[in-house]
Each structure stands twice: as C-alpha cells, then as structure tokens.
Amino acid sequence: MSVTAGILYPGYSAEDDYPVLERLLGDVSLPLVHTEMREDAHRVDALLDVGSEQVLAEGARRLLEHQVSAVIWACTSGSFVFGWDGARDQVEKLQAVTGLPTSSTSFAFVHAAARLEVRRVAVAATYPAEVADRFGEFLARGGVQVARLSSRGIVTAAEVGTLTREQVLEFAAANDDPAAEALLMPDTALHTAALLEELEQRVGKPVLTANQVSAWEVLRLAGDSGLREGAGTLFRVAGPAGGGLPGAAPQ
C-alpha cells in the first residue's frame, strides 16, 4: 500500500530531490509545500525567521490538503538553530497544527544515527562556521559525537543548490574522518538524492544527507518500515516504524 507523507520545504533550491527519492523508494508519495523564506541566508537571525511558528503553520495547513499521514519540516538549519529544546518546541507546535506525527530534519539525523547504531560522525556542512557549530552542538545533545566538523562557508541555499555532482562528492570525501562511523551532510538545499550510493562508495561508510534522512523520518512516522535498495545504508537497516515526539530517546 502506498504511503503519503508530507514535506515542508523552505524556499527553492533542492526540492527536486524529493521526486528523485520517490522514484528510488517506489510506492511512496512525498508531496511538498514550499514555506516562505523572507531572506535566503545561513545566518542565525534569518534562520530563526525561516523556522518561525507562523511560517510553518501556514505551510502545514496547505500540506494537509494532500491527505498526508505524517509531516516533516525539511530544514536542518531552520530547526537546529533553535537548540535542542527550541527545536522540540518547534515540532510540538507544528504537530498541534497538523494533528499528525511530525518531526524535523535535525531530529531525523539523530534518529537515523541511532538506527545505524552510529555514535561518532564526521560532518561536512555547507554552512558558515557559526551555523555549522550549532549543528555539532545539537548532535552532541542527541548523543552523537562529532569527530570532525567542516564548514564550506556558503551563505545562501540558492548557491548550495548549484553545487555539481563532482563538487558534492569531493566535498564529502575531503571532510570525512577515519574515526567517524558515518558522514553527515546537513543541508536540504544540497542535491544528494541521486548520489546516495555513490557518496557511500566514495567515502567507504554510511552517508546521511539531509533530504535522505528527511524522507526516511517522515516515512517512518507514517508507519512505513520497508527496506529498500538504492537510497543508502539507512534504507537497508531494519527497525521499528512510528515513534514519539522528537527529543525523546531516539529509536
């Protein structure tokens, strides 16, 4: 039976990753609604506005028209920038609007790392260093140790979305760490859906990317626990579907 799970996505940059993921995963529907982005900037004040309660609530009401079974706020920086408790509050308020299982990409990374039993990671972040550091702090709060955190220093999501296949692959390989059990690439503006298997071959370990973990998390919350090939190690590891509010002990 096909599962329909909804994506709230800020602005326009790599939203075309989700149709790619639909094709890779098969028998799932990932309808996407664009939320307002008044300023495209990986800067703390701008990101707090991108992830604000009013902006997300307006997008969620439109997403509900698609008869979705679960919802994810598919923005890493627009969730972790609030801190662990703030990001949880963000999701709780969003869930109050949707009435459905709801999460965000930041919590999806923590839950995905737990699914893979990964405790030590490298992070290849496209963001400026100030923002990337906040992601490292968020992971630490979720019990994930960061062996290496790298920042590419890109200010806008629009620019991130223009990185080529080879640039993405090279960025991943250059910023891995031998001590890391997995590599994380936390930006939903980064095109990675078509490169998931190639990324893992290049670095020789599981790679978790923002759009990948967002799709995995929202499908999990919608009750889909099926295993699939072609979308990275994450989709090949068995575990429970469903789950409580983010911020609880990850499954």
Q: Domain 3-108+212-236, CATH 3.40.50.12500 — does that match?
A: yes
| pLDDT single digits (tens) 79-117 | 998 899 999 999 999 999 999 999 999 999 999 999 999
Q: Please tell me the predicted confidence (pLDDT) of residue 45.
A: 67
In the predicted structure, residue 249 carries a pLDDT above the cut 50: no
- Extents of the domains making up the chain: 3-108+212-236, 116-209
| pLDDT single digits (tens) 207-239 | 999 999 999 999 999 999 889 999 999 999 988
Q: Please tell me the predicted confidence (pLDDT) of residue 248.
A: 41
Confidence of residue 4 (pLDDT cuts 50, 70, 90): very high
Q: Please tell me the predicted confidence (pLDDT) of residue 246.
A: 57
Q: Report whether 209 contacts 200 (CB < 8 A).
A: no
In the predicted structure, residue 151 carries a pLDDT above the cut 50: yes
Decide if 3-108+212-236 and 116-209 have a common fold. yes
Read out DSSP for 50-114?
HT-HHHHHHHHHHHGGG--S-EEE--SHHHHTTHHHHHHHHHHHHHHHH-S-EEEHHHHHHHHHH
pTM: predicted TM-score of the whole model, two decimal places: 0.93
More confident residue, 153 or 147: 147
Distance, in Å, from the CA atom of 77 to the CA atom of 75, rounded to the nearest integer, reads 6
What is the rounded radius of gyration, in angstroms, for the C-alpha atoms of the chain? 16
**Among 140, 145, 138, 205, residue whose Cα is nearest residue 172:** 205
* Second-level CATH architecture of 116-209: 3-Layer(aba) Sandwich (3.40)
Which amino acid is residue 84, in one-letter code? W
- At 96, list the tokens: 């109050």
| pLDDT single digits (tens) 111-140 | 999 999 999 999 999 988 898 999 999 999
Confidence of residue 188 (pLDDT cuts 50, 70, 90): very high
